[in-house]
Amino acid sequence: MTAKLKTAVLGATGYSGMELTRLLAHHPRLEKPILLRRDGGGNGARDLAEVFPGLSGNGGYPLQPLSWPELKRQDVQLLFLATPHEVSRSLVPAAIAEGLRVIDLSGAWRLKQAKHKAVYSFQDSDAVTAAELTKEAVYGLPELNSGRIADARLVANPGCYATSVILALAPLLQAGLVDRERGIVSDSKSGVSGAGKEPTARTHFVAVADNLSAYSVFNHRHLGEIVEQLELGTSELIFTPHLLPIPRGILSTVYVHLNRKMKSEDVESCLRAFYANRRWVRIFATPNLPQVQFSLHTNYCDLGFCLAEDGRRLVLVSCIDNLLKGAAGQAVQNMNLMYGWNEQEGLQ
């Protein structure tokens, strides 16, 4: 019988890290993941069930201090980082040097262009190594980069908003159907878990309940990801994120002008051809449109559209669960590709 892969997770006490732990613990090809903690992390918890009581039982989920020698002794081969951007930026060089493969759920290694990376203000202790790893890192969107992900040492898991927008636009842009000179608009809305586990004045119940608010207009961190992966100029896309008064889920409404008159069946054919045999993208036949509730607690990205009577104005609707296809589920999907397994394993 083939030995099971040993994995470790740093950052399991966050929402995405908790979801990732849950998925890894039930994956048929893995041993139970080793959960790591940094000094002062996880509010001093020694077991993940202290933070998320719903995980009680199943032998517990102990949190052990991060130690490279200990990970080597335990024969860990793959490290997941569900940590703040600056923490991942500092830890990945050491992890790669230790011979680990890494899937990073933060934004630390997603961006290639300096003008986009500047939003994070990283201060690398070894600028040369950081530059080499930035160049090497593979953007972990399986529907676009599955071949490169398979051989990667470092996979940069995409942002949740970016996943929803890129998957909606990629088929039409690659087919050359979008009138880019007229611009693209993405109106995107996310549940509160997308802001992370640490409470802020903006994510407090009193601020969120019975409310809808826009934020980070023109300067959201995911904008750089979207334009880099779609090979757009920053001026060609207006991306506006909003905070929904729901726990999880993303709905992106994307507005484009087409450069020629099309029929609805042509648009649908373009989307279906692009995502043929891609397990985790579902195309809705017009006039049906995705809703947040349809993709919740799944790894699906649901795509639908409406075409105006003039055949030139198109509205795309894209829905994902921000903690799954937008984070933990996509990380597992990337792991499956890295080890030559079916992308569905551990996600059904």
* Active-site amino acid positions: 160
What is the DSSP code (8-state) at residue 43? G
Distance CA 13, CA 41 (A): 8
Residue 155 in 3-state DSSP?
A: strand
In sequence order, the 6+-apart residues with CB closer than 8 A to the CB of 244 are: 189, 190, 191, 192, 212, 251
Whether 324 and 298 have beta carbons less than 8 Å apart is answered as yes
CA distances from 128 to 108, 113, 139 (A): 15, 16, 20
Number of H helices and E strands in the chain, helices first, is 12, 14
What six digits make up the tokens of 145? 């980069």
How far, in Å, CA of 81 to CA of 157, rounded? 10
Please write down the long-range contacts of 39-42, taking CB distance under 8 Å and 24 or more positions apart: 39/65, 41/11, 41/13, 42/12, 42/13
**Mind giving me the DSSP string for 185-239?**
EEEEEE-GGGG-SS--TTTSHHHHTT--EE-STTT-THHHHHHHHHT--GGGEEE
Which amino acid, 162?
A: A
Q: How far apart are CA 292 and CA 296, in angstroms?
A: 6
- Cα 155–chain centre separation: 11
